A and B are shown apart, each in its own frame.
Chain A
Amino acid sequence: MPEDWQQGGFGLYIHWPFCLSKCPYCDFNSHVAAEIDQQKWAQAYVSEIGRIAAETGSKPLKSVFFGGGTPSLMLPETVEAILSKVRECWTLSNDIEITLEANPTSVEASRFAGYKDAGVNRVSIGIQALNDPDLRRLGRLHTVAEARAAFDTATNLFDRINFDLIYARQDQTLPEWRAELTEALNMAADHLSLYQLTIESGTAFGTRHAAGGLHGLPQEDLAADMYELTQELTAAAGFEAYEISNHAKSGSQSRHNLIYWHAGDYAGIGPGAHGRLTLDGVRYATECPKSPQSWLESVLKTGNGELPRQAQSANERADEYLMMGLRVTDGIDLLRYENLAGKQIKYNSINMLSNYDLVTLQDNRLIATPQGRPVLNAIIKELLAE
């Protein structure tokens, strides 16, 4: 019998923790540093890849993802060093996806060709908004013109390109979003990530919000209308939603992110990176120290950049599969769920939820309906095993 993770596959996540400045909405592990010794960093990533590969063995690798932070601040040589080591350690699948997250400034776009030479075959560009005043309110350093230029550079080099937009911004109206999204769909390549702005505690926006500031954020009904409009416009343009916030032309879904949503295994390397590894039949949640300096030092001094591992319990695995799997349009396999949980899913709750048309059962798969997806958290809370 195949192990559970194989239904999602295996990928590698590399976290680059540095940015040129900190965006006020962002709660990712990103830091602004004056000087970065890229050689040392490359050495650390390479060492960590070696350490993990020694545990996983040379199994087929479906994808590599350079996330951040701002990975487009990495020198192409750094990326090259990492990818050479990857090739050395794992069997790369024929259609391996190698994505790098980029911020759209001219300096960064100038490195795109170098990344391509190193082996990157997909970029994900953080455009965020298609008007300058909103970009400024989001604390972004680039302009729309720069973003478009970076995007054009990318189109000349890569077949597969995603860009991110953040909507449900302060004072944004439904017609404004319709116009902006239409524009975005006109320029889009094969993939779009469209995120509603989330106010995260611990960020500058979070602090302002808690203090009663940050006005003009949409109320529930407007946010729901924006979400529905997004589904409608993207579908009409052939960018079907395959996940809550992700849209792709057919066949262009992000393979890397599907590993997460299909509860596959992934190695997480770099400050604050998380991973999931099945070793000798036990699935572990791995985590690295968040501070770039402590991670780097611990790797270079002890040869290990990981915090103590946790084995996942049956409930944890089942709940994680549920929470991640219902985000994608193919939902979760109930047999797989039951194998993980060691018990049946809560059928009473499923009956209730399907009465309200929020979920459906198809071929023993549980799927959130288009009405269910915008209230997925409520559905998940109803079904959590723990």
Chain B
Amino acid sequence: MYEGVIGSLIERLGKLPGIGPKSAQRIAFWILEAEKQDIDDLANSIVEAKQKIRFCNVCFNVSEEDLCRICRDPRRDLKIICAVEESKDVIAIERTREFKGRYHVLGGAISPIDGVGPDDLRIKELLKRLADGVVVEVIVATDPNLEGEATATYLTRLLLPMGVSVSRLASGLPVGGDLEYADEVTLGRAFEGRRRIQ
């Protein structure tokens, strides 16, 4: 085990998603050997991103302003909302260019073992967006895994009585996986073939 500064660097790197102890060590030694300027730039972008990036007031996507790029765009269809778990899912769906409406980032999925219940997600905020009757369809694009499906079922039960049409992405997405890992073509097809839930 390493001690002192290098030890705590390895420990902190090891907390990053997808980075195990071995990779943390490798990255730490890469940092030690890299140009000082490169490392300053890296450290600055981390601090800057954390300071500047906020969440969109309407859809909770990451944004540098009160409204995100998508919510500001007048060409987007106000009648359709696509509900996703995370901001990274917005990026995945945008890549398909299939979807012209706006998003709603729920902030995760219902998962009791992680202490996440419906009240911890931005569900109330979604219901508020539906109040004026402009939105006619909500596409629930949560991950095709247990927690994503459960969240979708929960949302559907709330939304249907409000008179909006609710649809789920068509099957064909890799089951058990993350939406963000689906390739553009598969995700695009899933969007096109979405089925309405009665």
Are A and B subunits of one complex? no
* Contact surface of B with A, Cβ cutoff 8 Å: none
